[in-house]
Structures are given as C-alpha cells and as structure tokens.
C-alpha cells in the first residue's frame, strides 16, 4: 500500500531524504544521544539544539496493528484491506508503519520486527517493519 | 471551579441540516440563552474550538451583541470539550466576563466529514498528498493509510487486546456491551438520531468491520447540527431559574506524544496520564466512587473501557467483565452515556456529551438515573470535568 506521499517540501527534509537513499535514520541528540520522532529542532530529553541523524538498528517490537477494510478515500478502494502498525524501535521511539502491499503475516502485539525500506521512486521511500526472518533488514 | 452551566440549546441532530453552520450556531445560542432565562445581550464572552468554522466575530456581528469582554479558543476539537468549559470558568473567575457561551456548529455529515481521507489529503495526479504536520493524516502516518481518527482508535483497541490478552470473543462482548447498551438508551431518547433503530448483541457481532478490530457499530455518527451552553458564576446561577448545574472541577492535559491522536504516547491501551484522576477528583473534593453517572466521549466505543479504567471506576483490565455484564446500563453500578452517546444520539463534538451530564443532574434525562448528584465527563483524560447538582 501506498498511493499517499508527503508533499515535496517534506520529502526534501532529512528523514525522508535518508529513506529515499535506502536507510532509516532517526533524529538524535548529539549531546545526550537520545533519539526522537517525529524530528524536532530540540532534544526533548536534554533540551539541546545540537541534534543530528543516525542510522536506526531497524529492530523493533509491535506495539499495535489495525487492518483497514473500509476505504476512506476513493483512491484507496483498490488498496483495502491494508495493515497499519505502530512499532516501538530499539532506540526508544515509536513509528507509524505498515505491512507492505501483497504481504500477510500473523501479527501479535509485542512480537519482534525488523525494518525493510521500500522505495517508490527517486524521492520517496517508506520504512516498513516485518516479522523477524520474513525478509526485512 | 465556582461556575455553573445554566442553559443548553441545540438544533436537531441530522445527516443534512440544510442550512449554514452560522445559522445552526445562532439557533443553538439563542436556545441556550432562553433555556437559561437570560437575554441575548447578557452574553459578554464566547469560547469555541479553533476547528469551528464560525468565528466569534461572526456571532457578534450576526447577533448585534453590544460587545464581548472575553473570547477564547481551544485546539483539537472534542479533545477539549471539558477544556473549553474550564476556560470559560477561568475567565469568569478572573472577572474577564460574566456570561460565557460555549458553542459548536458543524455540518460534519453533509459537509467536511471527519471519517474521510479527503479532509487531510490533496489529489495530485496519481498520488494523494499530505501536508499535515500533525496527526491525523500527517506526513509520517498518512503514507501508511492512517488517515482518520477511527483508524487510530482501532490501534488503541488492538493494543488493549494485546496488553490484557483478550481473545476476539471477549473483546467483542466488551465493545458490544458499550454499543448495545447505548443504543438501548438512544431508543428511549427522542432526540437521538438512531432512536428508532434497535441493536442486539447478535446484530453487533454481525456488523461490518471498518478497521479491524472495530465494527461499524463501534463508530460515532457523523452529524450536522449545533449546540451551545451558557456558563455563569455559581453566585449568578443561584439567581436564575433553578436549572443550574455546578462545575465542580474541569481541566485539560497534554503530555508528550498524546494529544491529538496519542500515536507517540508511551501507552496506547491507557490514554490518561498517571495522576489525572487524583487531580480531577481532588479538585472536585470527591472520589471516583462518589460519581453517579459518567459521560465518556465515545468517538468509538473503545473510549469507554479505557476511560473507566483510567479514572479508577474499575480496576485495570476489568472493563470486559464490567461492560459485558451491563455495568454501564440502566441500574448498573455506573450508567454511562445515557443519551446514547456519540455512537447513537449524534455527534456535536462532545457538547452533547456534557449536556447529558447536565440533564442528569437537572433530573430531566430520558434515561434518568434516580437521585443523580454527580456526573463525570471526559475525553481520554485530555479534558475532563466533574459536575454536581446545584
């Protein structure tokens, strides 16, 4: 699934630029090391403005999931059902993610996951998370 | 707080009001003033959601109000239904205004629908594009198809199921206990959009799944209409007609990752921060066990079990037992959403949730809880209130 993308001004920002280059990076504090998401100009742990980007390990656990069966937009009609997930990364941040189109897994809250970045075009890629051993990172 | 809600006004709930949101707002405001026994020119303050399309200036101009000495806005819509009352009350207690009207007008079914992706996406060629900085439908969640509040609620629901190890059947009976009980209340409420439609547990179980694990009957009704309420000091309320209900405590909360959609909150099966209940009930001088009736903002049925646990009406993980055995129903230990809720009465973005609390304490609910003295109102703990019989 997707037919939905952020507008170009967001794709030009570091989070999506790193993904388009093939890796999930997280906004991290250069002083205390804490990662945070969504990206922010300041570290919410130590309030330092000295933040940068580090590659994520890709290891996560499944916080929750939901299967959208009702299309909330006409262009999503051919895409349902699709699975949305909330994943808790090893680095201590939460991401919204999903299961890639055409894949099905028996999901369970708390199960270990690994990241698989899927590219849609030059400028746009998304971080999906698959059960460990199912073809992720 | 030392304020009271002294007037309620509303239009009918409908799927197509056939009139502008401004007109709906004005009808509701005039109704609320009449109910309070006050003059329109007594209004000197307004509070509204930033999401409302009808500005304070539009109301002042349309009614020819002499002047407002205070107006205030709260963000995130229904999240702040009790926060708006807190804001009105604070303005009154600070001497900024004497008579504050809180209003909400929305053509949320015939106009822009909260349950549709069009609200947050633009069509650009073969793509749908998000420019939203915050959920729902923001640039980090929309690409995965997470677009509308109801899908977020399915995530809370699955998180709750996983955390407490509920199987599908027990989970279904829990939320069925919310939807079926509230429909029963709505069947006895002539205002309710679904007053003529019965709902059995078998009907509920057979309901179409919208976003698993939630069914169509777990979702609130997109509705057209408006509601308004009048808030004055308790002192002033005692001079009025006797319909006053006191605001014993009202407040609002944001903590990291929470409002508006709790995607990044530490817990997704429990939505109020630690201490929210103690603070609210402490301010009211009461405890959860003193509450006679609860109004829980039910954008989906899932909000009911979470709020009951978050505010200590039942223990953690006890909601399935409580709700599947009718604890929220007539004669139960804590009747909940006796108007039918947003699920079955209609959706005035939390104002009708508050209004039913007021009606219970006036003694004129269609599902009156005998001798109700106190009512609790919340949306996920993000804003909450305790009302008391005057």
Contact B158 A64 (CB under 8 A): yes
Beta-carbon separation of B211 and A66 below 8 A: yes
The alpha-carbon gap from A19 to the nearest alpha carbon of chain B, in Å, equals 12
pLDDT digit string, tens, across residues A106-120: 999 999 999 999 999
Interface test with A, best of B145, B163, B171 (most A CBs within 10 A): B145
CB contacts of A7 in chain B (<8 Å) are: 129-131, 139
Q: Where are the domains of chain B?
A: 3-110+221-389, 114-147
Interface of B with A (CB under 8 A): 115-118, 121, 123, 126-131, 138-148, 151, 154-159, 161-163, 208-214, 256-257, 263-264, 268
What is the C-alpha R_g of chain B? 20
Exposure of B54 by Cβ count < 10 A (0-12 exposed, 13-18 middle, 19+ buried)?
buried
Interface check for A95 against chain B (CB to CB < 8 A): the answer is yes
Q: Enter the DSSP assignment of B65.
A: -
Within 10 A of A75 (CB to CB), how many other CB atoms are there?
16
CATH 3.40.47.10 at B3-110+221-389, yes or no: yes
Distance from CA of B132 to the nearest CA of A (A): 8
Tell me, letter by letter, the H, E, C secondary structure of B200-239: CHHHHHCCCEEEECEEHHHECCCCEEEEEEEEEEHHHHCC
SS3 A62: strand
In angstroms, the CA B251 to CA B379 distance is 11
Query: What count of Cα atoms within 13 Å lies in the side-chain half-sphere of residue B267?
Result: 14
pLDDT digits (tens, 9 = 90+) for A31-47: 999 999 999 999 999 99
Q: For residue B174, how far is the Cα from the chain centroid?
A: 20
Let me know: does B80 contact B383? Beta carbons within 8 Å.
yes
Tell me which chain A residues have a C-beta less than 8 angstroms from the C-beta of B267.
Answer: none
Residues of B forming the active site: 297, 347
- pLDDT of A136 > 80? The answer is no
pLDDT tens per residue, chain B (390 residues)?
A: 899 999 999 999 999 999 999 999 999 999 999 999 999 999 999 999 999 999 999 999 999 999 999 999 999 999 999 999 999 999 999 999 999 999 999 999 999 999 999 999 999 999 999 999 999 999 999 999 999 999 999 999 999 999 999 999 999 999 999 999 999 999 999 999 999 999 999 999 999 999 999 999 999 999 999 999 999 999 999 999 778 999 999 999 899 999 899 999 999 999 998 899 999 999 999 999 999 999 999 999 999 999 999 999 999 999 999 999 999 999 999 999 999 999 999 999 999 999 999 999 999 999 999 999 999 999 988 999 999 999
> Which residues does B80 contact at the CB level (< 8 Å), separation at least 6?
B49, B74, B252, B379, B382, B383
Per-residue confidence at A137, pLDDT binned at 50, 70, 90? Answer: low
Taking CA B356 as the corner, what is the angle to CA B184 and CA B68, rounded to the nearest 5 degrees? 150
- Which of B129, B142, B151 minimises the CB distance to A68? B151
* pLDDT tens-digit readout, A65-105: 999 999 999 999 999 999 999 999 999 999 999 999 999 99
Assign A63 to helix, strand or coil.
strand
A97 touches chain B (CB under 8 A): yes
Interface contact flag, A109 B127, Cβ < 8 Å: no
Phi and psi (nearest 5°) for B387?
-110, 150
**pLDDT of res. A1:** 60
CB contact under 8 A, B147 and A66: no
Whether the per-residue pLDDT at A2 is higher than 90: the answer is no
| pLDDT at residue B353 in the model | 98
With a cut of 80, say whether residue A128 has pLDDT above it.
yes
Alpha carbon distance A129, B11 (integer Å): 47
| Selection from B219, B272, B284 nearest residue B86 by Cα | B284
> How far is C-alpha B330 from the geometric centre of its chain's CA atoms?
20
Give the three-class secondary structure for B286: coil
* C-beta separation of B375 from B360 below 8 A: yes
């Amino acid at each position: 699934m997707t037919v939905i993308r952020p507008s170009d001004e967001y794709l030009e920002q570091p989070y999506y630029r790193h993904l388009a280059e093939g890796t999930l990076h997280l906004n991290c504090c250069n002083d205390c090391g804490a990662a945070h998401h969504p990206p922010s100009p300041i570290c919410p742990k130590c309030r330092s403005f000295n933040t940068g980007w580090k590659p994520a390990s890709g290891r996560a656990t499944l916080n929750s999931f939901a299967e959208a069966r009702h299309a909330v937009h006409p262009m999503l009609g051919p895409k349902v059902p699709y699975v949305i997930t909330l994943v808790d990364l090893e680095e201590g941040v939460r991401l919204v993610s999903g299961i890639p189109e055409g894949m099905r897994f028996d999901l369970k809250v708390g199960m270990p996951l690994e990241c698989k970045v899927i590219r849609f075009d030059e400028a746009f890629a998304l971080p999906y998370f698959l059960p460990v051993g199912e073809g992720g990172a | 707080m030392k304020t009271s809600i002294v007037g309620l006004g509303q239009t009918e709930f409908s799927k197509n009001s056939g009139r502008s949101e401004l007109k709906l707002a004005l009808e509701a405001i005039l109704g609320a003033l009449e109910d309070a026994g006050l003059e329109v020119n007594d209004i000197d303050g307004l509070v509204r959601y930033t999401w409302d399309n009808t500005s304070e200036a539009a109301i002042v101009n349309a009614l020819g109000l002499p002047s407002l000495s205070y107006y205030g806005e709260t963000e995130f819509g229904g999240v702040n239904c009790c926060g708006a009352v807190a804001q009105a009350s604070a303005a009154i207690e600070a001497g900024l205004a004497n008579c504050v009207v809180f209003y909400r007008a929305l053509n949320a079914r015939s106009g822009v629908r909260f349950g549709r992706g069009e609200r947050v996406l633009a069509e650009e060629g073969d793509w749908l594009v998000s420019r939203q900085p915050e959920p729902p439908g923001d640039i980090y969640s929309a690409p995965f198809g997470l677009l509308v509040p109801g899908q977020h609620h399915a995530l809370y629901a699955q998180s709750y199921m996983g955390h407490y190890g509920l199987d599908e059947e027990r989970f279904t009976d829990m939320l069925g206990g919310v939807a079926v009980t509230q429909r029963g209340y709505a069947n006895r409420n002539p205002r309710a959009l679904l007053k003529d439609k019965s709902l059995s547990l078998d009907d509920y179980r057979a309901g179409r799944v919208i976003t698993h694990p939630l069914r169509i009957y777990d979702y609130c009704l997109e509705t057209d209409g408006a509601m308004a309420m009048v808030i004055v000091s308790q002192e002033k309320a005692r001079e009025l007609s006797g319909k006053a209900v006191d605001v014993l405590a009202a407040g609002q909360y944001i903590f990291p990752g929470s409002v508006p959609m709790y995607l990044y909150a530490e817990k997704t099966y429990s939505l109020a921060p630690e201490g929210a209940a103690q603070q609210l009930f402490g301010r009211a001088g009461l405890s959860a066990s003193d509450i006679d009736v609860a109004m829980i903002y039910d954008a989906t049925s899932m909000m009911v079990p979470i709020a009951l646990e978050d505010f200590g009406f039942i223990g953690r993980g006890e909601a399935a037992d409580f709700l599947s055995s009718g604890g929220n129903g007539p004669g139960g230990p804590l009747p909940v959403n006796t108007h039918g809720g947003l699920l079955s009465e209609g959706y005035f973005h939390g104002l009708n949730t508050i209004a039913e609390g007021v009606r219970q304490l006036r003694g004129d609910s269609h599902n009156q809880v005998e001798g109700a003295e106190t009512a609790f109102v919340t949306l996920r703990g993000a804003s909450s209130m305790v009302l008391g019989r005057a």
